[in-house]
Amino acid sequence: MRLKDKVILITGASSGIGESTAMTLSEKGASVVLCARSVDKLNKIKDQIEKNGGKALIIETDVTKPDDFKNAVSQILEKYGTIDVLINNAGLMPLSYIEKLKTDEWHQMIDVNIKGVLNGVAAVLPTMRKNKSGHIINISSSAAHRYFPGGAVYSATKIAVKMFSEGLRQELTSAYGIKVTSIEPGAVDTSLFESITDEDIKDKLKDMKEMTKLEAEDIVNAIFYALSQPDRVNVNDVYLMPTDQG
Ligand code: NJP
């Protein structure tokens, strides 16, 4: 896919991987649509993209609300007439040990990390199916491959995203020309760790502070690799770890 003038919806675009993805893909000529709840942050990123000569639209979106996605899609269709790529990136990771029973956080992860992805797919699919083309990129995690301390529910959400991506691919790619990719990174240097409230986990993660993590741009490179393949190639999964992480 050539990115020039492609319309790319990115959730969780107000920071970290989403912000970096929006900046880079707009530099490559895509019209990026930045979705998140923090409108102030989105406005700053949009200003920067426009200063660099790129095109950006911001839409306040809570991914747990299907109506927010429907509104986003109708605004995008009105402005650009189509949607070429959906990057389901919004997520959170309030790790905790199960015995702490932080059930509100469990439900929050299921709502954002899983239902948010489903809501995004439901919103864009009619357009991509009609176009007989598109690309859905879901940001899963290395946590889809293995448990780590406090990560039982987070891992469960990310394996759901990975497996849903495989189901999407099998149902949509040859039938409708819609590509599907799951990206599964290890630790990335973003604000994701700030959602942790469990003091025992915070303590345990102190060692990780010294570790060299992936940068958001490393994930963007994986996204760009998946997007820039010829029509005949679907990149199913990209599983990437920091060299420092076991
Ligand atoms: O984290 P961060 P990352 N509705 O905290 C948004 C996965 N991942 O970039 O709404 C809409 O900088 C929030 O926006 P706002 C991870 O699981 C990461 O690292 O304004 N958006 C913000 O833009 C996640 O899926 C690591 O608060 C909502 C964004 O999510 C993805 O990478 C490792 C929302 C979070 O940005 C991006 O995370 C890994 C809602 N209800 C996978 N709730 C890692 N960093 O180590 C949150 O394996 N957001």
Ligand 1 atom nearest 188 alpha carbon: 46
Contact 114, 141 (CB under 8 A): no
For the Cβ of 38 lying below 6 angstroms from any atom of ligand 1, the answer is yes
For the Cβ of 92 lying below 6 angstroms from any atom of ligand 1, the answer is yes
Active site annotation includes 154? yes
pLDDT band at 1 (very low <50, low <70, confident <90, very high): low
pLDDT of residue 151: 97
At residue 16, does pLDDT exceed 80? yes
* DSSP classification of residue 99: G
Q: What is the mean pLDDT of residues 145-155?
A: 95
Fold observed for domain 7-239: Rossmann fold (3.40.50)
What is the crossing angle of helices 16-27 and 216-227, to 10°? 50
At residue 107, does pLDDT exceed 80? yes
Average pLDDT in the chain: 96
Residue tagged active-site, from 154, 176, 225, 239: 154
Please give the model's pTM, rounded to 2 decimal places: 0.98
Concatenating the DSSP letter of every residue in 120-141 gives: HHHHHHHHHHHHT-EEEEEE--
pLDDT of residue 216: 98
At residue 117, does pLDDT exceed 90? yes
Q: What is the mean pLDDT of residues 43-48?
A: 98
Domain boundaries, the chain: 7-239
Which of the listed residues 190, 213, 218, 240 should we mutate to test ligand 1's pocket, taking the one with most ligand atoms within 8 A of CB?
Answer: 190
pLDDT tens readout for residues 180-230: 999 999 999 999 999 999 999 998 888 777 899 999 999 999 999 999 999
For the Cβ of 187 lying below 6 angstroms from any atom of ligand 1, the answer is yes
| Residue 219: closest CA among 238, 194, 195, 193 | 238
pLDDT of residue 173: 98
At residue 46, does pLDDT exceed 90? yes
High-pLDDT (> 90) share of the chain, %: 93
The token duo for 160 is 């759901």
**Whole-number Cα distances in Å, 170 to 1, 22, 176, 243:** 20, 28, 10, 32
Contact 83, 134 (CB under 8 A): yes
For the Cβ of 88 lying below 6 angstroms from any atom of ligand 1, the answer is no
